[in-house]
Chain A
Amino acid sequence: MTQTAVTPAREPAVRKATPGGARTARRSGRRRLALPYLLLLPALLLELLVHLVPMLMGIVMSFKELTQFYIRDWAAAPWSGLDNFSVSLDFDAAVGQSLLKSFLTTCQFTVLSVGLCWLLGTAAAVLLQENFRGRGVLRTLFLVPYALPVYAAVITWAFMFQRDNGLINHVLHDQLGIGDSPAFWLIGDNSFWALLAVSVWKGWPFAFLTVMAGLQNIPREMYEAAALDGAGVWKQIRHITLPSLRSVNQVLVLVLFLWTFNDFNTPFVLFGEAAPEAADLISLHIYQSSFQTWNFGTGSAMSVLLLLFLLLVTGVYLLLTTRGRKTSDV
C-alpha cells in the first residue's frame, strides 16, 4: 500500500519541472501526508468508542443521582452536582473513611507488589542470561503464571488458601507446625498477604519477560571489558546491567503500577462479594460501593477521583523520568 502511494506521487515532480506539475506535486504531496491519518481513522474511531466514550459516560454519571430507581433509563436520573464527590471525600463519615482506608491499603499493596515483581523478575532474568542446560525449560516455566487465565489461577489459589482444607495451611500448620491453630487467609488481616502473594505470583513473569528482552540489547563486550578491568558480578550488575535497563525499567514500573493499582480480578475472585477490610483494594471497593448500594453515581465519582489520581501520578512520573533522561543524555 505504501509502495503504490509513494511511487506515482514522486515521479511527475522529478521528471517535469513545469509550474502545473509543481501544483500537482504539492497536491499529491498533501494527499500523501493525509493518507496515514486516514488509514488510522478506523482505529481512532474505535478507540474513541471503546475507551473514551465509556470514560466520558462515567464522568457524566458521577454528577448524577443514579440509583436503582433510574438505572433502567439513566438519562432520566436527576443531576446531583458535586454531591457524589462530597460524599466520597467526607472523611469523617463512613463512606469517605472507608474509601480513604481502601486507598491507603491499595497504595501499600501496590508498592509491595510492584517492588517484589520487579525484584523477582529482574533477578530471574539476570540469572537466566547465562547459557546453561535447561534454560529454555526454566524460561517457559517462569512464564506459566502469565499464560494462565486469571480466573482459573486465582480460584486455585482460593482453594489453596482455605483454612480447613487448603494446601497452604496443610504445609504451614500440619507439616511445619507453624502457629497454634491454622491461620485464616481469606478473611481477617492475613488476607492482605494472601492477596499480595497471588498478585506477585501473577505479575512477576511480566517483569521477567520485559527485563529479559531489555537484556538482549546490552552488548556482551561491555561485560567482557568490565571483567578484564576486574569488575565482579555485582559490580557488573550495578554499573552495566541496571543503567542499561533504565529506560526499560521506567516503562515496566509504570505499567506494573497501573495494572496493580487497578487490579480487580484478583481480589474479586479470591474474596468474592465482600472483600475483607485488610485487602479491600480500591477498584473492588468502588465496585462494591456501586453495586452494594446500587448508587452508581457515587461509584462513578469515586472512579473519577481514582482516574485523576492515576493521571497525576503518571504525569509526574513521566515528567521526572524524561527530564532525568534528557539531562543524562546531555
Chain B
Amino acid sequence: MRRIRAAVTGAVTLSLVLTATACGGGEDGGGQATKTLTYWATNQGSSLEVDKKVLQPELDEFERKTGIKVNLEVIPWSDLLNRILTATTSGQGPDVLNIGNTWSASLQATGALLPWDAKNFEAIGGKDRFVDSALGSTGAPGKDPAAVPLYSMAYALYYNKQMFKDAGIAKPPTTWDEVVAAGKKLSKDGKWGIGVEGSNLSNNIHQVFVLGKQHGADFFTADGKPDFTSDGAVAAVKQYVDLMATHKIVAPGNAEYAQNQSLSDFAKDKTGMVLWQTPSQTFASQGMSEEEWGVVPAPVPSGEPGTGTATNSMVAGINMAVFKNTENLDGALKFVEFMTSDEEQIALNKTYGSVPPVKAAQKDPAFSGPSLAVIRDTLATSAAALPQVPEESQFETVVGTAVKELFADAAAGRPVTTESVKAKLDKAQQQMPKK
C-alpha cells in the first residue's frame, strides 16, 4: 500500500514539476551573459559558409580585445524575417543582429529593437560618423533609428563584355530603350538579354520601386497609406514584367528564379545583363574574373541619373540592430562599435564588395575602383530609400508576390495587360493591414 502511495505521489509530483518547468523556460544563462553575445548575421557572401569564414576571424579579434565571445549564426534571407518575428514574440532572441535596411521601420514598430538615441550613438562614436543616405534607411522619420548602417549597396547594371562584343553592342545602355534594344540583339541562340529573379519577392520590390519613382509614383501616400494601383505604379510593374512578356529579352525560366540563378546564368554567358547589388563576389565564385564584366549606373529614362524620376536605385544595405531584451547591453554596444569602426568597415566591405556607410572608411582607396565608384556615386546622388513605413515588409511580400504571379503569367505565354497588372496590385493592396 505504501508503495502505491509513493508511486502516486511520485507521478503527481513529476507531472507538476514537468508542467512548471515547461512553463518557465528560458531563464538560464545568467552568469555567462556578460561574457558572450549571440549575433545573427545576414548572408552577404556567396554562401553561408563563406560568411562564417569571413566573419569568424573578426569575431576572434573582438574577443581578443574585449574578452567577449560572440556566437555567430548566419541566417539565410529566406528565414531571417520569420526568425526575427519569432524572437520578437518570444523575447528569446540574439543580442545583436543584422537586418535588411528596408525592414527598419517595420521592425521599429514592433518595439523589439533598441532605439539609437543620442546616448547609444555616443557609445559607438556618434551619429555623424555615418553617411546621410544610409541613415535615411534606419527607421521612420522623426524617430530614433532602430538600427545603424553596416554595409551599403546600390543597384547598377552589370554586363557581360564578351557577349556584348559578340552581339556588336558598342556602348553599355544607359536608358531603358537602350536596354531593350541591346537585349533584343543579345537574345538569340539560347542566350538572353537580361536576367530577373521572378520568384524573389524582395528583388521584385526593389526593381518596381525604382521604376515607380521613374514614373513619378510612390507605393505609399505621404501619410503612409498603401497606394499600389496608381497609374504610375501599374505602369512601373508592367514595364518590369514586359521585359519578359512583351520584349522577350528575359528567359521564361527566370520566372521561377529565387536563388540568384540569374547570376550563374550571367557568369556562364547565358545572359548579357543583370541589374544587381554588389554581385562581384558571386561572379568570382562562379569563375568569372573582374575583366569579364563591366558595370554602369542602372538605366533611367533620360540617361542621366539623378533624383526624382531619374532615380535609378533603392538605398540597399544592411543595418545592425541590438535586441532590446539583451542581457548584455554594454557588450552589444561594444560589438556594434567594433563592427562600425573604420578598420572593420574597410575590411568587411572590401570583402563583400559593398560600400562602407561610415564616412572615414569610404575614403579608403579600396572603394574608389571603377565598379565601386559607380555604387558610391549612385548612393550619393540617385538612390532613394524604400518607404520608411511600418508596413514596409508587408508591402514587400504582397506586391512582390503580385509581380511573381505576373511573371508566371508571362512565362506561360499569357498576356500581361494594364488591367491584369492593376487587378493583381489591387488584390495586393486589399491584403495590407487596415488602419
Query: Which residues of A are in contact with B by a Cβ distance under 8 Å?
Result: 1, 4-5, 8-9, 28, 31, 35, 38-39, 41-42, 44-46, 49, 67-69, 71-72, 74, 93-95, 98, 162-164, 181-182, 184, 186-189, 272-274, 276-277, 288-289, 291-295
* B430→A293 contact, CB < 8 A: no
Answer whether residue B286 sits at the interface, using C-beta atoms and an 8 A cutoff.
no
* B89→A41 contact, CB < 8 A: no
* B12→A274 contact, CB < 8 A: no
* A162→B256 contact, CB < 8 A: yes
Q: In the complex, what's the smallest C-beta–C-beta distance from B87 to chain A, in angstroms?
A: 10
CA of A4 to CA of B1, assembled, Å? 8
Chain B, 6-42, CB within 8 A of any chain A CB: 7-8, 11-12, 14-16, 18-19, 22-23
Beyond A184-B255, A292-B398, 20 additional pairs, beta carbon < 8 A: A39-B8, A42-B12, A45-B18, A67-B433, A68-B109, A69-B110, A72-B89, A74-B89, A164-B253, A184-B411, A186-B199, A187-B198, A187-B404, A188-B409, A272-B258, A273-B397, A292-B394, A292-B401, A293-B394, A294-B433
Query: Which residues of B are in contact with A by a Cβ distance under 8 Å?
Result: 1, 3-4, 7-8, 11-12, 14-16, 18-19, 22-23, 78, 82, 85, 88-89, 91, 106, 109-112, 198-199, 201, 251-253, 255-256, 258, 390, 393-394, 397-398, 400-401, 404-405, 407-409, 411-412, 426-427, 430-433
B431 proximity list for chain A (CB < 8 A) = 94-95, 98, 289, 292-293
> Which of A46, A182, A273, A277 touches B19 (beta carbons < 8 Å)?
A46
A95 proximity list for chain B (CB < 8 A) = 430-431
Known: A68-B109, A276-B408. A41 touches B433 (CB 8 A): no
B405 proximity list for chain A (CB < 8 A) = 276-277
Known: A94-B431, A273-B78. A49 touches B408 (CB 8 A): no
> Which of B18, B201, B404, B430 touches A42 (beta carbons < 8 Å)?
B18
> Which of B4, B14, B408 touches A31 (beta carbons < 8 Å)?
B4
CA of A72 to CA of B1, assembled, Å? 51
* B110→A72 contact, CB < 8 A: yes
Q: In the complex, what's the smallest C-beta–C-beta distance from B22 to chain A, in angstroms?
A: 6
Known: A187-B199, A272-B199. A41 touches B11 (CB 8 A): yes
A74 proximity list for chain B (CB < 8 A) = 89
CA of A30 to CA of B432, assembled, Å? 60
19 contacts between A and B (CB under 8 A): A4-B3, A4-B4, A35-B4, A39-B8, A42-B12, A71-B85, A163-B252, A163-B256, A184-B252, A184-B255, A184-B412, A186-B256, A187-B198, A274-B199, A277-B405, A291-B85, A292-B398, A293-B432, A294-B106
Q: In the complex, what's the smallest C-beta–C-beta distance from A271 to chain B, in angstroms?
A: 9
* A188→B408 contact, CB < 8 A: yes
CB nearest to A291 among chain B residues: B82
CA of A184 to CA of B106, assembled, Å? 34
Known: A72-B91, A164-B253, A273-B78. A41 touches B411 (CB 8 A): no
Known: A162-B256, A184-B411, A292-B431. A274 touches B8 (CB 8 A): no
* B111→A72 contact, CB < 8 A: yes
* A69→B255 contact, CB < 8 A: no
Mostly helix, strand, loop or mixed at chain A's interface?
helix
A182 proximity list for chain B (CB < 8 A) = 253
Known: A38-B8, A38-B12, A164-B253. A71 touches B89 (CB 8 A): yes
CA of A285 to CA of B236, assembled, Å? 27
Q: In the complex, what's the smallest C-beta–C-beta distance from A316 to chain B, in angstroms?
A: 33
> Which of A31, A45, A162, A273 touches B201 (beta carbons < 8 Å)?
A273
CB nearest to A161 among chain B residues: B256
Q: In the complex, what's the smallest C-beta–C-beta distance from B408 to chain A, in angstroms?
A: 4
CB nearest to B1 among chain A residues: A8
* B7→A42 contact, CB < 8 A: no
> Which of A93, A184, A274, A294 touches B400 (beta carbons < 8 Å)?
A274
> Which of B7, B18, B256, B433 touches A293 (beta carbons < 8 Å)?
B433
Q: Which of B15, B201, B252, B430 has the largest count of A CB atoms less than 10 A from its CB? A: B15
A8 proximity list for chain B (CB < 8 A) = 1
* B78→A46 contact, CB < 8 A: no
* A93→B430 contact, CB < 8 A: yes
CB nearest to A271 among chain B residues: B199
Q: In the complex, what's the smallest C-beta–C-beta distance from A93 to chain B, in angstroms?
A: 6
* A41→B412 contact, CB < 8 A: no
CB nearest to A4 among chain B residues: B3
CB nearest to B81 among chain A residues: A291
B4 proximity list for chain A (CB < 8 A) = 4-5, 31, 35
* A188→B411 contact, CB < 8 A: yes
CA of A326 to CA of B91, assembled, Å? 53
CA of A5 to CA of B431, assembled, Å? 62
* A42→B89 contact, CB < 8 A: no
Top 5 closest pairs, chain A to chain B, by CB: A42-B15, A94-B430, A187-B408, A274-B401, A164-B253
CA of A68 to CA of B255, assembled, Å? 31
* B18→A46 contact, CB < 8 A: yes
Q: In the complex, what's the smallest C-beta–C-beta distance from A78 to chain B, in angstroms?
A: 13
Q: Which of A72, A273, A274, A276 has the largest count of B CB atoms less than 10 A from its CB? A: A273
CA of A112 to CA of B85, assembled, Å? 35
B91 proximity list for chain A (CB < 8 A) = 72
* A28→B89 contact, CB < 8 A: no
> Which of A69, A184, A295 touches B408 (beta carbons < 8 Å)?
A184
CA of A46 to CA of B16, assembled, Å? 9
CA of A197 to CA of B2, assembled, Å? 59
Q: In the complex, what's the smallest C-beta–C-beta distance from A167 to chain B, in angstroms?
A: 15
